[in-house]
Amino acid sequence: MCVSLIRRKRDTRDLRFVGYILTATVATGIIGLLFHNFFTSLFTSKIGVAIALLINGIFLFICERWTHHKDIKTISAFTIGVAQAVSIIPGISRSGATIGTGLLFGIHKETAARFSFLLSIPTIIGAFILDFEPTLFTDVALLPMIIGIVTSFVVGYATLRILLKLILRNKFHTFAYYCWAIGLLILIIG
């Protein structure tokens, strides 16, 4: 997509996809900034996390039931961005919220997963800039940091490959059982 932006012969499909990612990122940014303090306050509530996990499970169980033959449009991209902002709430899966919202809009499963992955890049960069603390890096050795980044990338990539296979096999709802189990466990122990 980046190459398509630079070339003279631009692929309009890639350009639209970039536009949709920007649309979703703007939606995430607006809601994330407006409700940042509220979202971060939820990190101290075990009951809130448990309830969010239960709701997340219901959402994941339901979202796979639609037919998936549509392409992304501006309204679906914006709504996926809103879902990503809501996933700041602890207990709500970012991938689950964004892919699930895409599935609810009837977007092709692979397209919804690809869009979710690409949408995470500007969002993670934005969150890093928003919460950046220079003092966090004063006592960090370079080698362990590089090892952590590389390990995170490899594990994240492998996990996304597994997630995509599950989505394509209509097994996305299996994550609902995990969310329900952990949510109920937190409520019981809580």
| Whole-number Å distance between alpha carbons of 67 and 115 | 18
No. of helices (H) and no. of strands (E), the chain: 9, 0
pLDDT at 4: 57
CA pair distance 170, 128, nearest whole angstrom: 33
pLDDT of residue 26: 95
Q: Each residue's pLDDT tens digit in the chain (190 positions)?
A: 566 556 655 567 778 888 999 999 999 999 988 998 888 888 888 999 999 999 999 999 999 887 778 899 999 999 999 999 999 999 999 999 999 999 999 999 989 999 998 999 898 888 778 777 766 666 677 788 789 889 988 998 888 888 888 888 888 889 999 999 999 999 999 7
> Radius of gyration over alpha carbons of the chain, in Å?
18
Distance CA 172, CA 61 (A): 8
Tell which residue, 87, 91, 90, 81, has the closest CA to residue 30: 81
CA nearest to 96, candidates 111, 110, 112? 112
* CA distance between the termini of the chain: 46
| pLDDT value, residue 153 | 85
- pLDDT value, residue 10: 58
Within 45-130, where are the H helices? 46-63, 74-86, 94-104, 109-130
Q: Residue ranges per domain, the chain?
A: 10-131+173-184
The Cα-based distances of 89 to 38, 83, 115, 186 in angstroms read 9, 10, 21, 16
Note the pTM of the prediction, 2 decimals: 0.85
Residue with tokens 């536009």: 19
